[in-house]
Amino acid sequence: MIKNIMKNLSNLPGWRTNRKIVVIESDDWGTIRMSSKEAFNSLLKKGYPVDQCPYNKHDALESNQDLEMLFDVLNSVKGNDGNPVILTANNIVANPDFEKIKKSNFNEYHFEPFTETLKHYPEHDRVMDLYREGINNKLIMPQFHGREHLNVTLWMKALQRKSEDEMLAFDLGIFSSKVAQKYGYQNEYMDTFDFKKLKELEFQEKAIIEGLKLFKHIWNFDSESFIAPCYIWHSQLEKVLKENGVKYIQGLINQFEPREGDSWSYSKKYHYQGQKNSLGQRYLIRNAFFEPTINPRFDWESDCLKRIDLAFKFRKPAIVSSHRLNYMGYLNPKNRSENLLKLKFKPK
């Protein structure tokens, strides 16, 4: 009952349209997660519960076959206008340069474009050609998700104190092998724009400027929208996003804004569909979800269709959240094949 009320409330305020619009927003494209099946098995053998985390178990840098199979499904589903489905691929444009960081004795952070990261992986040599083909065929449209999907400040501090967990993960080419609970930190270094000290915003602003510049260099166009990793960001960052061409901010109803202090705490800011901030940017709010890898026992197809129908009844666009891990098969091909069938699901 409460869930149904919340679903209705999320569609009440804000922009309306008589058009039946479905948008698929998909995060994490370009970032590393688990580097290989060998790395996964090594961590599992050492007692790290990586098999209990769907991201560590299934998510990895997108491969040639991942994109090929996804595009086949997107191209097979047409709207009333006869055009195929377009997936908004929210792109992380860089990853840590592990070799340079190690050469600096962990005193300096270095990053590399994700196009360079692709060269370190064995089944990824055609990824950028496939991306360009997908863009030309209007199957996929990259947008900005961040320079890295990584809290650089916290990760580097862990490496500098030679934290055993993080050093082991580092040697396997990943951020973290498990949640760093011993330091009261729950997000496994994925929360790019979280902080404890307000002064860290200066570093984050620089990363946004560099990231958007790199985004344009890679794709040859500017990103008009942005989605913060883990839905955590300080509103002050919206100004630098605006100054660098970002008109729309993707997210959930709630924005988690970091508060300065010794413990992890956030202010929740409520947003609604099409809401304008003081800078004139609009918030795009996700009101449907298709995340079968997160919970394989849940009926995501039916729930997503119900949420889309509800959005239409309130004359709202249906903005579907569906992360990259649902379509990745580089580590586990079955994950990809099963979820692509669900994505193509047609009700009787």
Give residue-wise pLDDT tens across range 267-290.
Answer: 999 999 999 999 999 999 999 999
Beta bridge partners of 254: 270
Average pLDDT, the chain: 92
CB-CB contact of 64 with 123 (8 Å): yes
Which residues lie below 8 Å from residue 80, measured CB to CB, with a gap of 6+? Answer: none
In the prediction, which pLDDT does 188 show?
Answer: 83
Q: Has residue 26 got a pLDDT over 80?
A: yes
Q: How far is CA 101 from the centre of its chain?
A: 24
Kindly report the backbone phi and psi dihedral angles of residue 320, in degrees, each rounded to the nearest multiple of 5, phi listed first: -95, 130
Model confidence at 251, pLDDT cuts 50, 70, 90, reads: very high
pLDDT digits (tens, 9 = 90+) for 294-310: 999 999 999 999 999 99
Q: Has residue 175 got a pLDDT over 90?
A: no
Model confidence at 8, pLDDT cuts 50, 70, 90, reads: low
CB-CB contact of 92 with 28 (8 Å): yes
Distances (CA, A) of 62 to 114, 267, 336: 11, 34, 11
Q: How far apart are CA 271 and CA 276, in angstroms?
A: 9
Q: How far apart are CA 311 and CA 287, in angstroms?
A: 7
Mean pLDDT score, 227-256: 98
Q: Has residue 252 got a pLDDT over 80?
A: yes
Model confidence at 7, pLDDT cuts 50, 70, 90, reads: low
Q: How far apart are CA 132 and CA 228, in angstroms?
A: 24
Q: Has residue 9 got a pLDDT over 80?
A: no
Q: What is the pTM of this model?
A: 0.94
CB-CB contact of 274 with 317 (8 Å): no
pLDDT digits (tens, 9 = 90+) for 74-107: 999 888 888 899 999 999 999 999 999 999 999 9
In the prediction, which pLDDT does 5 show?
Answer: 53
Q: Has residue 1 got a pLDDT over 90?
A: no
Mean pLDDT score, 12-29: 92
> How many CB atoms sit inside 10 A of residue 310's CB?
18
Higher per-residue confidence, 251 vs 13: 251
- Measuring CA to CA, which residue among 228, 249, 255, 283 is closest to residue 13? 283
In the prediction, which pLDDT does 180 show?
Answer: 47
Q: How far apart are CA 133 and CA 150, in angstroms?
A: 29
Q: How far apart are CA 150 and CA 92, in angstroms?
A: 10
Q: Has residue 137 got a pLDDT over 90?
A: yes
Which single residue is written with the structure tokens 């340079």? 100
